[in-house]
Amino acid sequence: MNNANMDDATREAIISRPDVILDDKEVMRALIAANERTMGNNIVDLRGIAMDRLERRLDRLEDTHRSVIAAAYENLAGTNQVHRAILRMLDPTEFEIFLRDLGGEVAEILRVDRIRLTLETAQGGSEATEKRLGGVLKIARPGYVDGYLAAGRSIQTRQVTLRQLQAGDPDMYGDKAPWIRSEACLKLDFGKGRLPGLLVMGAEDPHQFTPQQGTDLLAFFAGVFERAMRRWLS
């Protein structure tokens, strides 16, 4: 492009604001391509090659930057979600209300489809008691918690277990079991001399809980839940 083929207004606009062209990737590519055509096929434009490489690196950095920002927002949203659930969980002054809220508003805040709390006792429990307490509480014999977490395998159980499922355990989820596709299992320690407990969160979304996810927030939630439960068990 030369002065004879460029009107004065366009030329003046480019001179006054060259950054508009420099910031436009498509325009810059067109200018570089035009420059390469004028040089012919026998000349290697090392500067153009370097620019292409830098542009690709910049694109990768921008993608990484967007991913980091998205992950930060997701972590912040998850933190706020857990904090809201904890505050709601600490409100009740009666155990039955605590359990009802756990299966209701707390589950809604955490966006899970089912929450079950399992407590091990030497005497076992009754279906009538479980139904009276809203179907959230499950009373089980000693060893149930580790057996559920191990799922028939010989493994050492962890405080937080995240896994995807073909279907939920009917003994845990009842009539919702066929639709449960992932779960978070929080093993609970109620203190010396007490049997363990288990808090299970089931979701219909198979990607809500996966083994690749971090467990720090859920471990924090489990720690607060253990302390809240100790006042009911004392």
pLDDT at 26: 75
- What per-residue confidence (pLDDT) applies to 3? 46
- Alpha helices, DSSP H, located in the chain: 8-16, 19-22, 25-39, 46-89, 95-101, 107-110, 127-132, 144-150, 170-173, 216-233
Q: What does residue 227 show for φ and ψ, rounded to 5 degrees? A: -70, -35
Q: Please name which of 200, 78, 86 lies closest in space to residue 136, comparing C-alpha atoms.
A: 200
pLDDT mean values, one per 10 residues, the chain (234 residues): 62 75 71 65 60 75 74 73 91 88 92 93 66 78 91 78 93 91 94 91 94 90 92 80
66: CB partners within 8 A, 6+ apart: none
Tell me if 143 sits within 8 A of 205, measured CB to CB: no
> Alpha helix locations (H) across 134-177?
144-150, 170-173
Position 88 scores a pLDDT of 92
> Which residues, in sequence order, are CB contacts of 136 under 8 Å at separation 6+?
99, 100, 102, 103, 115, 116, 117
Q: What is the pLDDT of residue 125?
A: 58
Tell me which CATH code domain 86-233 carries. 3.30.450.40
Cβ-in-10-Å burial (0-12, 13-18, 19+) of 222 comes to buried
The SS3 assignment for 116 reads strand
Can you give the residue ranges of every domain in the chain? 86-233
